[in-house]
Amino acid sequence: MKALTGMRWPWRALSVVGLACVLCVGVLVSAAPALAADPSGAETLADNPSAPVDYVWIIVAAALVFIMQGGFAMLTAGLCRAKNVVNLMMKNLMDFTIGSLAFFSVGFALMFGADKGGLFGTTGWFLAGDSYDVGTYLLFLFQVMFAATAATIVAGAVAERLKVKAYFLYAIVICSIIYPVYGHWVWGGGWLSSLPYGMGHVDFAGSGVVHAVGGFMGLAGAIVLGPRIGKFDLKGKARAIPGHSMVLAALGVFILWFGWYGFNAGSTLSASELRTAVIAVNTTLAASAGAVSSLVVIYARTKKLDVGMALNGAIAGLVAITAPCAWVEGWAAMVIGLIAGVIVVVGVLFFDRIRIDDPVGAVSVHGLNGVWGLLAVGLFADGTYGNYTTEGPFVTGLFYGGGVEQLIAQAIGVVVVVAWAFGLGLILFKLLDVVLGGIRVSAQEEIAGLDIGEHGSSAYPNFTVVEDIPYLMASAVEKDGGK
Amino acid sequence: MKALTGMRWPWRALSVVGLACVLCVGVLVSAAPALAADPSGAETLADNPSAPVDYVWIIVAAALVFIMQGGFAMLTAGLCRAKNVVNLMMKNLMDFTIGSLAFFSVGFALMFGADKGGLFGTTGWFLAGDSYDVGTYLLFLFQVMFAATAATIVAGAVAERLKVKAYFLYAIVICSIIYPVYGHWVWGGGWLSSLPYGMGHVDFAGSGVVHAVGGFMGLAGAIVLGPRIGKFDLKGKARAIPGHSMVLAALGVFILWFGWYGFNAGSTLSASELRTAVIAVNTTLAASAGAVSSLVVIYARTKKLDVGMALNGAIAGLVAITAPCAWVEGWAAMVIGLIAGVIVVVGVLFFDRIRIDDPVGAVSVHGLNGVWGLLAVGLFADGTYGNYTTEGPFVTGLFYGGGVEQLIAQAIGVVVVVAWAFGLGLILFKLLDVVLGGIRVSAQEEIAGLDIGEHGSSAYPNFTVVEDIPYLMASAVEKDGGK
Amino acid sequence: MKALTGMRWPWRALSVVGLACVLCVGVLVSAAPALAADPSGAETLADNPSAPVDYVWIIVAAALVFIMQGGFAMLTAGLCRAKNVVNLMMKNLMDFTIGSLAFFSVGFALMFGADKGGLFGTTGWFLAGDSYDVGTYLLFLFQVMFAATAATIVAGAVAERLKVKAYFLYAIVICSIIYPVYGHWVWGGGWLSSLPYGMGHVDFAGSGVVHAVGGFMGLAGAIVLGPRIGKFDLKGKARAIPGHSMVLAALGVFILWFGWYGFNAGSTLSASELRTAVIAVNTTLAASAGAVSSLVVIYARTKKLDVGMALNGAIAGLVAITAPCAWVEGWAAMVIGLIAGVIVVVGVLFFDRIRIDDPVGAVSVHGLNGVWGLLAVGLFADGTYGNYTTEGPFVTGLFYGGGVEQLIAQAIGVVVVVAWAFGLGLILFKLLDVVLGGIRVSAQEEIAGLDIGEHGSSAYPNFTVVEDIPYLMASAVEKDGGK
């Protein structure tokens, strides 16, 4: 280590990278003999002549889910202040890049490897050995995008005050362990999927697995961090801290919505499931309904046509339809979306009231509506479609004569996902707080902006960035650092 | 109603949403018995083993058309002023969300339901009953994107002065009635498609159905509203009001162009039509040619390399190739695009001269070039491809020995679409003007920006927005409100 | 000519466009009789019932590659200054539009036409005659996007000082001749592809053909132009000239990455090659690894978390994996990306040290990593996949017992591509410099920004753009125009 720090920087840097390479080669060597799989795809094609359309479908859907990273980046940046944009862009880029390598190394094996007691998977590390197979790679491709989506949701809730290094470590942990293990329980053949109620806990495209996990970890992060300086006045009343670009926020929502067609319809994992058409329509209608109802509600409350809330309402509708998208019809998707739009407004106002500062509303959008989506399956599933298959048994909710069975399975999943994500989130962020000597930047850095403090640069060097800095400074003095 | 206004807001809001839900459940109950269709897709797949590739194609194409909403949002925002961006983002978001729910409820049935006398359709409301079918949902998915595209075109022409509420009502009407009825005439088996000339009026992907409808409704809106304050000086000479971000405008064009591959090539509605390759190439060449020729023309006129005009030229080429894309070869697509680029420049200058203020050039881009695209079919169609099929009879234009027959059918369609869209547009905007006590914001609001007046917020709170406000105020005084 | 300049502008403009049309019609007439191909697609479908999925795949992949233009536009704009954004948007738009028409007219025939002595192709001009065929159009669609990508890479290296007209001429030359001829050697059946070492020179998706060509032409342009005023201080030490929007830069990278799934996986040109799954995963891992390692290295060097470098690191990883994407497994993709991230940082610092000013790092990202990608094939190719086919012989590199044969073929390609692109680049830019009386804008224009000088407009008229202009003026005086 001494030797390392003594070297000139390029050699030091190269040494680190070299070390990583050697590690990888180690994996290779141990894995090399095991090529029993189909890396070229020749056998897979021979076995299944209709594989090409599935591969096209999943790869395109995965690309659509990927671009949601850009959507989240724009939405989060747009809803935050200009002085923190470099920091947000770095977090958004690195949660994907660090997270995908973590999911590649560890997470995928835990989530989709050979099941161990319904708890986690145990094979497929580094996609090596028998996992060097076109089918396994295809599954990884789609799933790594989902893992990264869960990771990036948290960025909004902890925005404008979390240290970058804490975020990097968080991204490793969520993508290696927290997300994959819960994911295994629902999608990897784990215990939640085999609950003895209804069809077991089901979550078509991840209202719970992705969004509730992200949303409730975000809640934990926001609580551990405390509110931003200036968010609450001396009486504890929430002040609006407007985001710096509504056009970026809107762009982010359009990109997210676009990507969601891959997220939901691609979750069939097979082009032969023509139910994709229903899924895509439901996705559209729920998003539209969410935007409309959230605008109606916020207008009723404030008499203002709040575009930020309408944008969040659209995402809320998308989150809520994600679990039930394959099991409900169009009108139900609209109703689910309408309710989602109400939930997001009530949620944002509620967290403001209890003084939890979630800068972009991520907890209400992804957490609360993730839960709503899971429950909606138990209510609206209409008994026309099975579990990723046209063959029965079908998923049937309360309103279609399915009784409360499915609703119970969904409710159990809700309790588990909230406990898992919020609980581990609290532990993780507390632990990071101790290990790193604080996960929150200093009050000085926060007021000046994380871009200067953490990155030594500005997102907009050719523009004059303005803000009510004296107010923030006064707040910081009053509240002793805002924490 | 009194009871409603007396309630605390969350309950009031919930009541409204609840009412909507109950209405929907009503539809459900009445529709529930009619499940004679194929909601799971099992039968559709059994009947047609090659359905999966069609479904993949249409869903991906629909997603591409969806992201054009983001493209329009960026282009319109970029070409307008910073003080109106919140307002524009809201309009762009809500025309899709409100419009898609309107098209779901009413429009789709009018457009594609069982034909009534060649005039409109009559089945498929709320996609319920027999419409709960994967094939019907798939068609809806693609078509709802088109309806919303037509709706959003108008936003640019009426930008920076139309009240939000008027826009919301407009969006409902265009997506429920104006667009679907005309659409039925061309694409739903209506009278225009069976004109006794050539192949009847044809419009492959909607130069007329989508773009001319949007463009000429926009013209009506721009006329009813009158020009923005400061657009014309005392002598009536047009002043440039530069848009606030050329980078957003450019991004918008790239996104639109990207989405147009789905718009045009997806309009085959079948992956087995390999003509998609020709369509996509033609789309590319026409857009390129439009940008080049508009830049040449504007440079010849002004000696300035006007990027806004080149961007509009690309869109003009795309609009013009939309109708003929499947029936012409590459060189003809280039010629069509070259002419489109000229048309857009001449159009923009013409509307400036006759004092109609179309802030983003939407009428020239979508209206005039929509017409040009329809006519181009009658000239350049080369007789190698039929009406969405490789089987004859083929569409053949004047230059390929088809005589004037097809050109006549196209010209009739042009007259009808202009009369329908412009006429109903005038009536609608005049009516809204009366009903709402004015559809234009006050001069004060217009000068200060619609973001403050209508939304109580700013798109860029961290930046200082600058404009020549004294000039605008003087203009307002001189012209008594600019109207 | 006199007659032309005497006309009123609209007629003059129309004349120019008219002339172009007549030229095209000339092509048509000569080409018309040769319709021996399959323009409707009916025969192609009859011959190959699985064609639809291939067409869907290639069209969607082509659209994904298209949107990379938007990604490059955002990335380049974000990394440059606000005063040059109109200029950059024009260049980004016009290199595609001019370039695609050039590739349509000439380039495609040179690249993919009937081979002449291994040097260039000779058929398919204007896609006319026998080329009016769905299969040929499909190939053109995908390839025109690649040609335009090569063209647009150069924009970054010559940014903020190259005259627009020089750029237009450059775009014509690269898309008609420089790119297609080299492309023919590798992908069109030319001499490099049949080198007697290993499988001949191979380049799966264009680390060399696209990125190294663009990168080394960019290097030539940057050298001929000289550094921007103010880039180097009196002692020759590089100063950072920060880009004007890190959020646009980040958006650009997300869009590029998204498009790269089409770029790499689409290069199979067939959906039946299920190796696409491996390709897409490798693309993901290399990009992630590139971002991580470049961030580690720059942090080790500067102690700053430089988001610009991390963004470039992701692109570097994408460039490097582009050639080997189909021939390596996941861990190797990660290693290739890790090394790419190091290369980009070292490259950027190296060019700074030798006083070559590449505003966005295009040479390091695309040039150096293009070379690295070509060589990586010779090292990491694992012998499980052939040349765009699951059938052998397979591409095998040094680390998998393939000896140095393949590495030699790759090294020869590296020498050729660098010599070709850099050599012709130097000649071209020098020639343009002579012909146009200088390819660089005046010092006055450069300091004021190219937007004012070349376009008479500003990208951000509603914002006050700030910069240390006195410093630039002083630099200009000292260095006599910075050249």
Q: Is the Cβ–Cβ distance between B292 and B402 less than 8 Å?
A: no
Q: What is the mean pLDDT of chain A?
A: 93
Nearest CB among A60, A81, A258 relative to B462 is that of: A81
Separation of alpha carbons C221 and B220, rounded Å: 50
Contact C330 A245 (CB under 8 A): no
Separation of alpha carbons A469 and B35, rounded Å: 62
- Cβ neighbors of A93 (< 8 A, separation 6 or more) are A73, C250, C253, C291, C307, C310, C311, C314
Which long-range contacts link A232-238 to residues 24+ away (Cβ below 8 Å)?
Answer: A232/A355, A232/A357, A233/A475, A234/A478, A236/A355, A238/A352, A238/A353, A238/A355
For A162, list phi and psi in degrees, rounded to 5.
-80, 135
SS3 content of chain B, % helix, strand, coil (to 5): 70, 0, 25
In this predicted structure, which of A312-326, B165-179, B351-365, C452-466 has the lowest mean pLDDT? C452-466
pLDDT of residue B319: 98
What single-letter amino acid sits at A260?
W
Separation of alpha carbons B333 and B320, rounded Å: 9
Contact B255 C67 (CB under 8 A): yes
Nearest CB among A249, A276, A346 relative to B10 is that of: A346
Residues C46, C47, C50, C51, CA torsion sign: negative
Kindly state the DSSP code that residue C49 receives in the 8-state scheme.
Answer: T
Name the closest residue on chain A to residue B103, using Cα atoms. Answer: A285
Classify residue C189 by burial, with Cβ atoms within 10 Å: 0-12, 13-18, 19+.
middle
- pLDDT category, A17, cuts 50, 70, 90? low
Contact B285 C100 (CB under 8 A): yes
Contact C288 A134 (CB under 8 A): no
Separation of alpha carbons C389 and C400, rounded Å: 19
Helices marked H in B196-269: 213-225, 246-265
Q: Residue A411: name the closest of A351, A371, A442 by CA.
A: A371
Contact B242 C457 (CB under 8 A): yes
Nearest CB among C56, C251, C334 relative to A24 is that of: C334
CA distances B169 to A305, B172, B175, B223, C68, Å, are 15, 5, 10, 18, 37
Among B57, B66, B246, the strongest candidate for a mutation testing the C interface, having the largest count of C CBs within 10 A, is B246
Contact A52 C265 (CB under 8 A): no
- Nearest CA-CA distance, residue A336 and chain C, Å: 30
Q: Residue B206: name the closest of B290, B125, B309, B326 by CA.
A: B326
Side-chain half-sphere of B398: how many Cα atoms within 13 Å? 11
Nearest CB among A66, A135, A462 relative to C465 is that of: A462
Residue C248: list chain B partners with CB under 8 A. 247
- Predicted confidence (pLDDT) per residue in C152-191, tens digit: 999 999 999 999 999 999 999 999 999 999 999 999 999 9
Among B21, B81, B83, B89, the strongest candidate for a mutation testing the A interface, having the largest count of A CBs within 10 A, is B89
Nearest CB among C89, C128, C134 relative to B331 is that of: C128
Contact A97 C247 (CB under 8 A): no
Contact B70 A258 (CB under 8 A): yes
Nearest CB among A280, A335, A346 relative to B62 is that of: A280
Total count of residues recorded for chain A = 483
What's the distance, CA A107 to chain centroid? 15
CA distances A5 to A2, C294, C300, Å, are 5, 18, 10
- Cβ neighbors of A378 (< 8 A, separation 6 or more) are A198, A397, A398, A402, A404, A406, A407, A408, A409, A410, A411
Q: Chains touching chain C at 3 or more Cβ pairs under 8 angstroms?
A: A, B
What is the crossing angle of helices A405-435 and A369-380, to 10°?
A: 170
pLDDT of residue C12: 63
Neighbours of B14 (CB within 10 A): 18
- Nearest CA-CA distance, residue B346 and chain C, Å: 8
Contact A9 C301 (CB under 8 A): yes
Separation of alpha carbons B387 and C401, rounded Å: 56
pLDDT exceeds cutoff 70 at A405: yes
pLDDT of residue C33: 42
pLDDT of residue A33: 42
Strand partners, A465: B463
Pairing of strands A120-121, C120-121: unpaired
Q: What is the mean pLDDT of chain C?
A: 93
Q: Which ranges of chain B have pLDDT less than 70?
A: 1-18, 20-36, 478-483
Contact A293 B140 (CB under 8 A): no
Kindly state the DSSP code that residue A119 receives in the 8-state scheme.
Answer: T
Name the closest residue on chain B to residue A296, using Cα atoms. Answer: B13
Nearest CB among B244, B304, B314 relative to C460 is that of: B244
pLDDT of residue C418: 98
What six digits make up the tokens of A29? 């060597």
What single-letter amino acid sits at A25?
V
pLDDT exceeds cutoff 70 at A7: no
Size of interface A-C (CB pairs under 8 A): 237
- Nearest CA-CA distance, residue C236 and chain A, Å: 22
Separation of alpha carbons A12 and C293, rounded Å: 12
pLDDT of residue A483: 43
CA distances A181 to A152, B259, B323, Å, are 18, 37, 52
Contact A261 B59 (CB under 8 A): yes
Which run of H or of E encompasses C121?
A: strand C120-121
pLDDT of residue C272: 96
Contact A246 B66 (CB under 8 A): no
Separation of alpha carbons C174 and C189, rounded Å: 20
Separation of alpha carbons C393 and C383, rounded Å: 8
Separation of alpha carbons B130 and B149, rounded Å: 27
pLDDT of residue B20: 65
- Predicted confidence (pLDDT) per residue in C193-209, tens digit: 999 999 999 999 999 99
Name the closest residue on chain A to residue C335, using Cα atoms. Answer: A21
Contact C21 B338 (CB under 8 A): yes
Among A7, A15, A17, A248, the strongest candidate for a mutation testing the C interface, having the largest count of C CBs within 10 A, is A17
Q: Backbone dihedral region of B482: left (phi > 0), alpha (psi from -120 to 50 degrees) or beta?
A: left
pTM here is 0.95
Nearest CB among B83, B258, B332 relative to C63 is that of: B258
pLDDT of residue C2: 47
Separation of alpha carbons A373 and B150, rounded Å: 32
Provide ipTM, 2 decimals: 0.94
For A124, list phi and psi in degrees, rounded to 5.
105, 15
Tokens 């295009």 sit at which residue? C362
What six digits make up the tokens of A180? 């994959």
pLDDT exceeds cutoff 60 at C404: yes
Residues C266, C268, C274, C277, CA torsion sign: negative
pLDDT of residue A36: 66
Q: Chains touching chain B at 3 or more Cβ pairs under 8 angstroms?
A: A, C
Among B50, B57, B278, the strongest candidate for a mutation testing the C interface, having the largest count of C CBs within 10 A, is B278
Nearest CB among C12, C70, C140 relative to B281 is that of: C140
Residue A35's SS3 state is coil
Among B55, B84, B164, the strongest candidate for a mutation testing the A interface, having the largest count of A CBs within 10 A, is B55
Contact B247 C39 (CB under 8 A): no
Neighbours of A84 (CB within 10 A): 28
Which residue ranges make up each domain of chain C?
49-479
Q: Give CA angle at C188 (C182, C191), nearest 5°.
A: 65
- Cβ neighbors of C114 (< 8 A, separation 6 or more) are C121, C122, C123
Q: Backbone dihedral region of B459: left (phi > 0), alpha (psi from -120 to 50 degrees) or beta?
A: alpha
Q: Backbone dihedral region of C206: left (phi > 0), alpha (psi from -120 to 50 degrees) or beta?
A: left
pLDDT of residue A388: 96
Name the closest residue on chain B to residue A289, using Cα atoms. Answer: B97
pLDDT of residue C453: 84
Nearest CB among A53, A292, A460 relative to B56 is that of: A53
pLDDT of residue A24: 58
Neighbours of C246 (CB within 10 A): 28
Contact B257 C454 (CB under 8 A): no
Tokens 């047009």 sit at which residue? B238
Q: Residue A296: name the closest of A345, A241, A352, A368 by CA.
A: A345
- Predicted confidence (pLDDT) per residue in A431-464, tens digit: 999 999 999 999 999 999 999 888 988 999 999 8
pLDDT of residue B11: 62
Pairing of strands B120-121, B115-116: antiparallel
Torsion of CA A363, A366, A369, A370, to 10 degrees: -120
Residue A64: list chain B partners with CB under 8 A. 63
pLDDT of residue A23: 64
Q: Which CATH number fits domain C49-479: 3.50.50.60, 1.10.3430.10, 2.60.40.10, 2.40.40.20?
A: 1.10.3430.10
- Nearest CA-CA distance, residue A67 and chain C, Å: 6
